[in-house]
Structure 1
Amino acid sequence: MSNVIVVSGGSSGIGAATCELFAKQGDIVYDLSRSGEDRQGIRHLYCDVKNPEAVREAIRTVLSNEKRIDICISNAGYGIAGTVECTSDALAIDQMNVNFHGTERLARAVLPALKESRGKFIAVSSVAGTIPIPFQAYYSASKAAMQSLLLAMANEVRPFGVSVVCLQPGDLSTGFTDKRVSNPDEASDYGETVHRSIRKMADDERKGGSPFIAAKRIVKIAGQRNPKPLQSLGWFYKTALVLWKLLPIRVTNYVVGKLYAL
């Protein structure tokens, strides 16, 4: 029997690739996003994850049509770049509103259905959720908050047969880079450092792998009986995450600073 799949932020990047792979294997796929359109095997529903009622209404529509939801993927998100000092209240709040609160709003809306289906909630996080990146402090914090929330939630819903997974991709070539909001010019006394760091981020992402790398892992997780709650992609990022845990934080944080802030 086909699964009913819901993907927030399914109109581009990892979300679009994920929708495509699920649709190709015959699943019933819904893309929940602010912009998009119906595609072959994929139905688009308008949803702004910053709006609690829009999230609830999208989930109600799927349940009205399909009577169940088996897999929910939280992918909607974006990044801001710049110094902590010069980031406005509005940008800082919006970053958390989309990346963190958008995920937990979706989780609260869909969990009753996932408990009935004994389904899975999969969230696209980031390596930055564990290894905070300078000049991406608010993005890193939003992903760290997401991971903490979902790891706790995983233990809450396990008795109901619901699996919760955070996927930590590294640099991938998606539209994420072009959507990043930057404010480096407001940090003049930081010199060229902030500009150089943001250029490095963008260059690494544009040289990254295909979003289908992450999408294939998401499809694999959806089919697993007992998936690990926190997963990364590729040997480089797995090694980096292990070293971050094993080595003294003074050493690892210094190395990250050398890579991104000097």
Structure 2
Amino acid sequence: MTTPATIPTATPRTVLVTGTSSGIGLATAVTAARAGWHVIATMRDTAKAGALLAAADEAGVSVDLRALDVTDPASVTACLAGLDRLDALVNNAGAGHVGTLEQESVDDVRAVMEVNFFGVLNVTKAVLPLLRQSKGRVLTVTSVGGVVGQPFNEAYCAAKFAVEGFMESLAPVAATAGVSVSVVEPGAVASEFVSNVGLPADALEQAGPYAPALSAYLERTSGAFASAQTSQDVAERMVDLLDAERPAFRLLTSDAARAFAGVKLADLDGSAVQNLTGGWVR
């Protein structure tokens, strides 16, 4: 009797997703695993992996959980140790921030840039040699805040603008080495991100001359998030982009995001954006 030949199975593609303890990162990790990707799911503190692991278990998939602090190059190196193939990177880790320049320190702004901009650069730089080998792709979650500057989001939008400019400039260079680069721009998303912006309970009392403007901004923003897109909806669009034969550079994840960013993208003299966002604080 002869033994039937074993038909080799395709090796799953591998994607590394940052910031997977909650929100878009968690949903993207699980959705990608369901789509057949081998997912390296990372977060700064793996003690906070309970929600991710529960979601993966419920979906009938597993993820490769690793610690990663995107602001620490040594942590990036340790996370990638032993990894000899990578097909995609999803830069999702980030932190919100609400404040205005007169009332915060430049060090506060630097801290926002460190996680939202330099953290993206740390991880992307480290994995580019692997992505060149696989002809892979980089997806970076920015925000419509990377297109339209928004009141009391000065530091956050500055970081996201920086990421957008960096990736838009990197994309044609990376393409010459076979690596595609995309940015993903959600609008309001129902996740823990908003609760992590660090705004103190007495923010209005401390806002001084900016209190009326901050009050108007917070009222408008709470309404926007009441009808926010879900993290799962964003994740499904992210995985579509991961699987796309020719991924676009920019993905706006909802009609609301497209309409909002479209104001800026068609605003040649800047007046439309100023008229739009000025109404948020008056």
TM-score by length of 1: 0.92
**Does the aligned pair in 2 maintain the 1:82–1:194 contact within 8 Å?**
no
Name 1:181's counterpart in structure 2.
Answer: 198
Structure 1 stretches of at least 4 aligned residues deviating more than 3 Å after TM superposition: 183-186
1:214: Cα distance to partner? 1.1
**What is the alpha-carbon distance in structure 2 between the residues aligned to residue 181 and residue 175 of structure 1?**
12
Aligned partner of residue 100 in structure 2, secondary structure: coil
The letter of the residue matching 1:118 is: K
Q: Which region of structure 1 is more displaced relative to structure 2, 185-194 or 159-168?
A: 185-194
Aligned partner of residue 81 in structure 1, secondary structure: coil
Matches within 5 A, 1:40-51: 40=56, 41-51=62-72
Given candidates 111, 117, 121, the residue that maps to 1:104 is 121
Q: Which region of structure 1 is more displaced relative to structure 2, 87-96 or 72-81?
A: 87-96
Aligned length: 257
1:111: Cα distance to partner? 0.4
**Does the aligned pair in 1 maintain the 2:15–2:87 contact within 8 Å?**
yes
Q: Which region of structure 1 is more displaced relative to structure 2, 236-245 or 5-14?
A: 236-245
Aligned partner of residue 90 in structure 2, secondary structure: strand
**Does the aligned pair in 2 maintain the 1:177–1:202 contact within 8 Å?**
no
Q: Which region of structure 1 is more displaced relative to structure 2, 78-87 or 197-206?
A: 197-206
Query: What root-mean-square deviation, in Å, do the aligned CA atoms of Structure 1 and Structure 2 show?
Result: 1.6
Asked if residue 254 in structure 1 is aligned to residue 275 in structure 2, the reply is yes
Residue deviations 1:18-72, cap 9 Å, x none? 00111112321111111233724112111111111101221224x0xxx201111
Asked if residue 7 in structure 1 is aligned to residue 17 in structure 2, the reply is yes
Given candidates 116, 139, 151, the residue that maps to 2:133 is 116
Aligned partner of residue 160 in structure 1, secondary structure: coil
1:206: Cα distance to partner? 4.4
1:254: Cα distance to partner? 1.8
Q: Residues 236 and 206 from structure 1, CA distance in 2 versus in 1: closer, same or farther, beyond 3 angstroms?
A: closer
**What is the alpha-carbon distance in structure 1 between the residues aligned to residue 109 and residue 248 of structure 2?**
31
Residue deviations 1:178-214, cap 9 Å, x none? 1012263432111322133134324422431210111
**What is the alpha-carbon distance in structure 1 between the residues aligned to residue 72 and residue 258 of structure 2?**
35
Given candidates 213, 224, 229, the residue that maps to 1:204 is 224
Name 2:59's counterpart in structure 1.
Answer: none
TM-score by length of 2: 0.86
1:101: Cα distance to partner? 0.3
Matches within 5 A, 1:1-262: 1=10, 2-35=12-45, 36-37=48-49, 39=53, 40=56, 41-61=62-82, 63=83, 67-182=84-199, 184=203, 185-247=205-267, 248-258=269-279, 260-262=280-282
Aligned partner of residue 231 in structure 1, secondary structure: strand
**Does the aligned pair in 1 maintain the 2:25–2:92 contact within 8 Å?**
yes
**Does the aligned pair in 1 maintain the 2:187–2:229 contact within 8 Å?**
no
Q: Which region of structure 1 is more displaced relative to structure 2, 2-11 or 22-31?
A: 22-31
1:142: Cα distance to partner? 0.5
Give the unaligned 5+ runs of structure 1: none
Q: Which region of structure 1 is more displaced relative to structure 2, 230-239 or 50-59?
A: 230-239
1:143: Cα distance to partner? 0.4
**What is the alpha-carbon distance in structure 2 between the residues aligned to residue 192 and residue 3 of structure 1?**
51
**What is the alpha-carbon distance in structure 2 between the residues aligned to residue 146 and residue 131 of structure 1?**
13
Percent identity between matched residues is 25
